Structure 1
Amino acid sequence: MRITDLAIVFTAVFFPFFLLISIHTENISEAAFVEMKYSAGLRAAVQDGGEMLNINETQAEEAGYVSFKKFRADKEGALSTFSNTMYINMGIEDDVHAQAALWWYIPALVVVDYDGYYIYSMQTYTGADGEESMSHAWSPKIPYGYSDGNGNSIHFTLDNQVEIYNGTSKLWYSGFQSELVGKTGVPLLDNSNTFEEIRRITIVNSIQDDLAYFIKRHNTLAMRNGISYRFSLPLIAQEEWNNTINDIGLMAFVQGIPIGDRFYNNYSLGGGRLIKTPVYNGGVEAGTGNKYYYRDTCSFPYEVHEVFNSRREAAASGYREKVCYNEDVK
């Protein structure tokens, strides 16, 4: 057989193989580009939504008024902003049908609030006509609850403010952990290190467990809509969980979007923390009537009458400075 014949045979046998490799490589490249586009859109949507969480309507709901980490989490504003940014980045801002289809691939959103969390997921309900329907809806706020096995219950927050129920005395207590040492009859409150460890574990485990439940349930509902992909809670590093529960924020999970012969799966976390200028409380000492101002990160047994944005404002209103050990000098 001549060399030209061998060349023809080689080409006839291996050309389809090389063509398939070329097509597959091109598909991989295109899929990688789409994944990058989706990931960028998801991050932008979560960041935009997280920023909306810090919108508040009254002074009492501002961060720093009661606790440095406590402010009103506007979950509806966060949801609306997240949705709009996702639609724009995926090029479906004017396509309501594509928008509805996208939500089948978002098994859960989580708003991490100061004293609990909300999960936005697919829910079933029975309409006035008796027919079962499905739509996304928020869960009620789920508290960061803990029981020590002795009948004592504790509701944690994103800082060390707590609400405690003593199962023996049947009494409720509330305040900062440091203020309640030795006063509640609940051992956990008497050790700061153990308290902080249990607080973080409780918050993370609570969110993880409920997320796993809602995402697993999404499988059943998605199958009714013809989606066979198996949704599941992704593995999230402990460091990311720790960052998530430092402040209020938004978590979003996107799974199962077909890209060629693969599926797009990702999640993103966004915070709602405000970068705030110092806030000073103006308090009056009971009994003496003396007026003091101090940083909102300090804790003094004074009745707060006014709130100021600077030392100068507080001093001009007749308050004397009171400094605590954890105050940042600014």
Structure 2
Amino acid sequence: MKVARTVRRRGKGGDRIKPLPISIRFVIIFCLILIPFFIVNNINISHNRKHQILETRYNHAIDTATQDAAKALITNASQSAEAQYEFQKRLRINKEEAAQTFFNSLYLNFNVFNDPIGQGVIQNYVPVILIVGYDGYYVYYMDEYTNAIGQKELKHVWSPKKPYAHKDQNGNTFAFTLDDFVTVNRNADQKWFEGFRGEIASTAGISLLNDAQTFDQVRRASIVNAIQKDLEYYINKYNNYAKRIGVAYTFTLPLISQEQWNNTVNDVGVLSFVQGIPMGEKYYNNYALGGSRLVKKPVYNGIIANGRKYYYSTNSCTSTFTTVEIFTTEKDAASNGYIPLDCAVGNRQ
């Protein structure tokens, strides 16, 4: 930028200064006004770039930790106890291993694996971790306790297992799972029914069991509402503790899309929250969902109809006959004398 200058002219009256043109003076004033804005803008751009890089790093750390935890969720001490469906009714999970793996991964990513003080700081940024199980969920939340020397401390503890419960307008209660296996208590006579929705619908005589789509909608809504309610409760509970120890940040349940909530109840997994990490004038606040990605083995029900043995897959057929045996492969069913059931015939029986 060319610098404007005055021009001295010598004449009879001595030296005199010729004033700058109005247009040039206007340009100078305009530049003096804009220069501070340019400087501040450049500083903000630099800070935003650093924040984006830092946020990307934190996102990677929490995503990796959550996925590692989800994998550890189905890891057990012995091969014989590996996570598996028992007639597709129960899935064994190792929530303690999942939580420890989650924090170990965070410690590595934040370079505090051998730093107990740094690990304590990281733990304070994790208000809750939620384990989504097949027939219920657990919350790993911060709670206050008195240590060996009588001082109060905050520590992550496990909640009891919380079932996916629902009660309809007629007083019937349901214990849902991540698929259509359900336990029902009929209010009229307090009779219990347990099995896949299609298998117990006719005998239970409860309207919710009659339509698969309505059943699935109610099941998902019940699970999501229960999880949301508990997450809000435990995060608010941690806020009460955090304020007493001087934490200015307010922990909140992040806005999670309906699609993400649907993914949460599709599979056994881990839902984690990391909040309150300082990032200049802002704070990091995010969550991650890690699914165990289990490949569920198909289930084949063996029944006896008209004196003959049949087997069918619960994914494609329904039958009013009582299940005698359950198999995980068609080969096993056939080797025990069962033949495939014609679904069209089975649905009419």
TM superposition score category, shorter chain reference: 0.7 to 0.9
Deviation track 1:303-325 (CA, whole Å, cap 9, x = no partner) reads: 437655x73x665x554443575
Distance in 2 separating the partners of 1:101 and 1:204: 30
Is the Cα contact below 8 Å between 1:64 and 1:296 reproduced in 2? Answer: no
Letter in 1 for 2:267: D
Counterpart of 1:104 (choices 114, 124, 146) is 124
In structure 1, runs of 5+ residues without a counterpart are: none
Letter in 2 for 1:304: E
CA separation of 1:177/1:293 partners in 2, compared to 1, >3 Å: closer, same or farther? closer
CA separation of 1:127/1:97 partners in 2, compared to 1, >3 Å: closer, same or farther? closer
Q: Which residue of 2 aligns with 1:117?
A: 137
Deviation track 1:56-109 (CA, whole Å, cap 9, x = no partner) reads: 557687444422x84212211211211111111222222221111111111111
Deviation track 1:19-45 (CA, whole Å, cap 9, x = no partner) reads: 444333222211111100000111111
Counterpart of 2:174 (choices 144, 154, 178) is 154
Letter in 1 for 2:105: T
Distance in 1 separating the partners of 2:116 and 2:283: 22
Is the Cα contact below 8 Å between 1:282 and 1:319 reproduced in 2? Answer: no
Shift of 1:178: 0.9
CA separation of 1:88/1:292 partners in 2, compared to 1, >3 Å: closer, same or farther? farther
Shift of 1:279: 5.3
Q: Which residue of 2 aligns with 1:175?
A: 195
Distance in 2 separating the partners of 1:96 and 1:230: 25
Is the Cα contact below 8 Å between 2:72 and 2:98 reproduced in 1? Answer: yes
Distance in 2 separating the partners of 1:275 and 1:161: 17
Percent identity (aligned)? 39
Higher relative CO (Cα under 8 Å, sequence separation at least 6) belongs to 1
Distance in 2 separating the partners of 1:205 and 1:218: 20
Counterparts of residues 61-210 of structure 1 (less than 5 Å):
62-67=83-88, 70-126=90-146, 131-210=151-230
Distance in 2 separating the partners of 1:150 and 1:10: 75
Verify: 1:236 aligned to 2:237, yes or no: no
2:201 partner SS: coil
Q: TM-score, normalised by structure 1?
A: 0.82
What root-mean-square deviation, in Å, do the aligned CA atoms of Structure 1 and Structure 2 show?
3.4
Is the Cα contact below 8 Å between 2:318 and 2:343 reproduced in 1? Answer: no
Q: Which residue of 2 aligns with 1:250?
A: 270
Is the Cα contact below 8 Å between 2:267 and 2:294 reproduced in 1? Answer: no
Shift of 1:205: 0.6
Distance in 2 separating the partners of 1:72 and 1:39: 29
CA separation of 1:185/1:325 partners in 2, compared to 1, >3 Å: closer, same or farther? closer
2:202 partner SS: coil
Distance in 2 separating the partners of 1:305 and 1:178: 16
Deviation track 1:217-253 (CA, whole Å, cap 9, x = no partner) reads: 1111111222111111111111111111011111011
Between the two proteins, the alignment pairs up a number of residues equal to 319
1:231 partner SS: coil
Verify: 1:23 aligned to 2:24, yes or no: no
Distance in 2 separating the partners of 1:159 and 1:244: 13
Distance in 1 separating the partners of 2:180 and 2:298: 19
Q: Which residue of 2 aligns with 1:3?
A: 4
Distance in 2 separating the partners of 1:181 and 1:224: 52
Is the Cα contact below 8 Å between 1:146 and 1:153 reproduced in 2? Answer: yes
1:180 partner SS: helix
For structure 1, which segment, 196-205 or 122-131, has the greater mean C-alpha deviation from structure 2 after superposition?
122-131
2:139 partner SS: strand
1:134 partner SS: strand
Deviation track 1:184-218 (CA, whole Å, cap 9, x = no partner) reads: 24332233222211111101111011111111111
Is the Cα contact below 8 Å between 1:286 and 1:302 reproduced in 2? Answer: no
Distance in 1 separating the partners of 2:47 and 2:250: 23
Q: Which residue of 1 aligns with 2:66?
A: 46
Verify: 1:322 aligned to 2:340, yes or no: yes
Shift of 1:126: 4.2
Distance in 1 separating the partners of 2:222 and 2:62: 28
CA separation of 1:101/1:59 partners in 2, compared to 1, >3 Å: closer, same or farther? same
Is the Cα contact below 8 Å between 1:283 and 1:303 reproduced in 2? Answer: yes
Larger Rg over CA atoms: 2
